[in-house]
Amino acid sequence: MAGAACIAGLLGVLPCSAQITPPNGPAPPNDTPSIKVGVLIFADYTVQQQPKVKDADNNAITLTAFQIGRSYINVTGHISHSISFRVTPDIVRDADAASSLDGSYTFRLKFAYVQWSLDDHMTRGSFARFGMEPTPWVEFIDGVYRYRFQGQTFEDREGILPSSDAGASFHYSFAGDYGDAQAAIFNGETFSHAEVNDQKSLQLRATIRPMPSRALLHGLRLTAFWDRDAYVKNADRRRAIAAVTFEHPRLNAGFNYLAAKDRTSAAATAIYGRGWSAFVTPRTAWGWEGLLRFDHLQPSKVLPAQMKNRAIAGIAYWFPHQGAVASALLLDIDNVTSKGFTPAQPTVRKIALHALVSF
């Protein structure tokens, strides 16, 4: 038929080109601007078994409380197929006793960044960011752990590394799904404080997936992280982390070892801290999951008897949803013991029912 049409075209009956179907090519990128609004809520009911506290009449009581641990408003969108943005206000309780708002919920900025996708120029998943953004280590380990609504991961919870800071970063995905790397420069004062000097935090995370083609071991990853920062000139603030993580439809697990150096001023003696964290979250196909985690922190090598241990055990149910929507309930016990501190620190034991809503 195509040949007959072309013959007819040569005879002047109709244009030959009108009968030729153009080849199928890649669909053009979608550059239509878009915007989405979502929320993230962490809520809990907590019973503090130990230590007892005193009420206004000086009675020794077991503290119980309904709490909103975190509430985000996530505004995300695309300017084009390669330029996107995120703005996330965080509504948290004000703990400043000197403020008239002490105990009230206050509105602050947690994330506000623009992201340039480099898929058109590099491997898929590569990007550059600028603004107030997630830090490379915490963003990575939170994605494996998945239980931030119970509490932060080890380094974040102990105030060793922040979850967000203002700066710029570059993320590169290795070809063949062999891992990724991210380099960043931040103020180093965290998202909750303004910059106070000329020192900057240089952070680098490199993650290797050694066996991406093996179905069983695809989720195995090895990660190294390094943070070079300073409190002031010639006063080092260093962090180094080595980690092994594993992700599977029936199990997530991780182990990470931390080495830290802190010298708060050039005249101060450097303090070298060490610690490690291990967790495992076995899960079923019906939404039920377990949570087991243990953290160990030795704040200073000079004081080896000084240590802090945290043990967490819980059971969770994740409600069935599609896409990025998530909701879950977690019943857990969180026990913290401290040794070698002056003054002595009591054991803190909490039993809590946590709720997560994210969409």
How much of the chain exceeds pLDDT 70, in percent? 90
Could you give all domains of the chain from N- to C-terminal order, each with its CATH number? 34-358 (2.40.160.10)
pLDDT band at 98 (very low <50, low <70, confident <90, very high): low
| Residue-wise pLDDT tens digits, 155-183 | 999 999 999 999 999 999 999 999 999 99
Q: Does residue 90 carry a pLDDT above 50? A: yes
Distances (CA, A) of 234 to 73, 230, 245, 271: 39, 7, 34, 14
pLDDT at 25: 61
Q: Which of 81, 76, 78 is nearest to 31 (CA)?
A: 81
The dihedral built from the CA positions of residue 119, 124, 126 and 132, taken in this order, carries a sign that is positive
Distances (CA, A) of 6 to 23, 58, 242, 259, 322: 18, 99, 68, 75, 51
Euclidean distance between CA atoms 299 and 276, whole angstroms: 12
**How many CB atoms lie under 10 A from the CB of residue 12?**
7
Cβ neighbours of residue 83 closer than 8 Å, sequence gap 6 or more: 114, 115, 116, 117
pLDDT at 190: 86
pLDDT at 24: 62
Distances (CA, A) of 92 to 85, 87, 107, 328: 23, 16, 7, 21
pLDDT at 224: 98
**How many CB atoms lie under 10 A from the CB of residue 80?**
13
pLDDT at 19: 45
pLDDT at 321: 86
The chain-wide mean pLDDT, for the chain, equals 89
pLDDT at 7: 35
The amino acid occupying position 231 is: Y
| Residue-wise pLDDT tens digits, 34-47 | 999 999 999 999 99
For 43: left if phi > 0, alpha if psi spans -120 to 50, otherwise beta; the answer is: beta
pLDDT at 17: 41
What is the β-pairing status of strands 105-117 and 235-248?
A: unpaired
The pTM is what?
0.87
Q: Does residue 275 carry a pLDDT above 50? A: yes
Q: Helix, strand, or coil here: 15? A: coil
Is the peptide bond prior to 343 cis by the omega test (within 30 degrees of 0)?
Answer: yes
Distances (CA, A) of 120 to 67, 126, 169, 180: 45, 9, 18, 17
Q: Helix, strand, or coil here: 103? A: coil
pLDDT band at 82 (very low <50, low <70, confident <90, very high): very high
